[in-house]
């Protein structure tokens, strides 16, 4: 598969609620195309897939990788919000509060 096909396939799987398969394809994309033009989206799909699958700690880890790799992304506030939601689900209210405040300040 080519770059665009793997990207599209991962998105399609996510939209079909095939979250773990979407994660697999997103990781495949990242492995094959580490400088690909859709790399940011693939990191986000991994976090969002874990979030939708209610795998909170895995979502937090995935969002941390996104934040580390793309601190100036146009998606950063959405990623911070989703990480904060995952933290609330893990009952880590203090860290979630800090993230929510960070989003408010940056908006």
The CATH number of whichever domain residue 24 belongs to comes to 1.25.40.10
The domain containing residue 41 runs over which residues?
A: 3-106
For residues 39 and 19, the answer to whether their CB atoms sit within 8 Å is no
Tens of pLDDT, residues 43-81: 999 999 999 999 999 999 999 999 999 999 999 999 999
Tens of pLDDT, residues 22-38: 999 999 999 999 999 99
Helix orientation angle between 56-69 and 76-89, rounded to the nearest 10 degrees: 150
Q: Could you give the number of structural domains in the chain?
A: 1
Q: What stretches of 16-75 show up as alpha helix (H) in DSSP?
A: 19-32, 39-52, 56-69
| Separation of alpha carbons 95 and 46, rounded Å | 21
Q: Which residues contact 70 (CB under 8 A, 6 or more apart)?
A: 40, 43, 76
Whole-structure pTM value: 0.94
């Amino acid at each position: 598969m080519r770059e665009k096909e793997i990207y599209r396939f991962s998105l399609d799987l996510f939209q079909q609620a095939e979250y773990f398969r979407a994660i697999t394809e997103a990781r495949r994309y990242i492995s094959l195309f580490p400088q690909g033009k859709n790399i940011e989206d693939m990191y986000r799909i991994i976090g969002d897939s874990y979030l939708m699958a209610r795998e909170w700690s895995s979502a937090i880890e995935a969002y941390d990788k996104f934040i580390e790799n793309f601190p100036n992304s146009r998606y950063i506030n959405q990623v911070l919000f989703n990480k904060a939601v995952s933290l609330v689900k893990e009952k880590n209210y203090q860290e979630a509060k800090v993230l929510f405040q960070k989003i408010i300040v940056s908006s």
